[in-house]
Structure 1
Amino acid sequence: MVDINAPHATSTARGDFDAWPCALQTLLDGMDIESKSSFTASLLAVDESARVRTSLLSVGELFVPDARTLCFALWSSSRTARAVHSTGRAALTFVFDEAFYQLQLNARPVSCGNFPLTCFVATIEAGESQRVDYARLTTGISFQLQQHKTVIERWYGQVQVLKRLASMHA
């Protein structure tokens, strides 16, 4: 029997940040999307009725233009998009490089013309990473594309829109 109250020799490494670490900037730089296509992040927002709304995002809906900014696109009809639009707040969570990341974001909607998604420009309010020495995080949520070429092409197009928005709102 294991005594869960006994002292144990494990450690948790936690890092706090308010700017994107270099490796994450590279991950979400809008380049080489095909090789990063299995990355998934969860964007969470609390709506006006205090319900948590979640959207899963890929490298095709996320773009980091600089050390403190995140541009992202959500389906306009999603409850998450409505929640972020009304509160201006969101959290982004994901697994990367064997660590769990969570970022608190201040977000504002920006016009993206007749683009079918709702676009936001967000600033990192606070971020943290966590890893433990007794286990390796290998994936968070992952997926496999069914129409790989079509989806990758769409993602490149979506990131191009996010890049234009980032340059207009810098």
Structure 2
Amino acid sequence: MEIKQLDAELLEWLGGSDLESKQHEAMQLLTVTGGQWPHLAMISMGEVIAISPDCLRLALWQGTQTSMNMMETGKATLIAVHGQRILHIRLEVRLLPELGDTIHPRDRYECNILHIRIDQAPYAEITSGITFQLKDQTGALARWNATIEDLRK
């Protein structure tokens, strides 16, 4: 199934709130290198926010291969698991201006959602996506909250 924008449930999930309860959830961000090879990066709930049903913002560490790929191609695909659905969110991305007053400098991207492919199997339930355990929960959550606030700017 394909949809054109985030539904109300996905908007709330990606709304940048309640990060403590989402601290174990991770998504995959796919880009393509200059040599046309797929490149996979992990992204946490503290690095993405839904601005509207058809717009996300992402924060990536500066100078990463993923960020360079996105600057070069203007494209990415975010893959997430939520509510027994696998979401393939195709994005058209553009770099936002750098913030001078931020605690955790990041490359910030505004991403127009081109379409969302939803995978669900009638014969099986998707029970989880990629999860992880934070080594410094307090520090990571503080950084994520600051990053989400930067993405709102």
- RMSD value over aligned CA atoms? 1.1
| C-alpha separation in 1, matches of 2:130 and 2:8 | 22
Q: 1:100 maps to which residue?
A: 86
User: In the TM superposition, what is the alpha-carbon distance from 1:24 to its structure 2 partner?
Assistant: 0.9
Q: TM-score normalized by structure 2?
A: 0.94
| C-alpha separation in 2, matches of 1:60 and 1:18 | 24
Q: 1:61 maps to which residue?
A: 47
User: In the TM superposition, what is the alpha-carbon distance from 1:135 to its structure 2 partner?
Assistant: 1.6
Indicate which of 4, 8, 17 corresponds to 1:31.
Answer: 17
Aligned residue pairs, count: 150
| C-alpha separation in 1, matches of 2:3 and 2:98 | 29
**Which segment drifts farther, 153-162 or 74-83?**
74-83
> 2:46 aligns to what SS in structure 1?
coil
Are 1:88 and 1:107, in contact at CA under 8 Å, matched by a contact in 2?
yes
Where structure 1 has 5 or more consecutive residues not aligned to the other structure, the ranges are: 1-14, 165-170
Report percent identity of matched pairs. Answer: 25
Matched, 1:91 2:80: no
Q: TM-score normalized by structure 1?
A: 0.85
Look at both structures and tell me which one has the larger radius of gyration over its CA atoms.
Answer: 1
Are 1:112 and 1:161, in contact at CA under 8 Å, matched by a contact in 2?
no
| C-alpha separation in 2, matches of 1:18 and 1:155 | 28
Where structure 2 has 5 or more consecutive residues not aligned to the other structure, the ranges are: none
Indicate which of 93, 108, 114 corresponds to 1:125.
Answer: 114
| C-alpha separation in 2, matches of 1:122 and 1:44 | 13
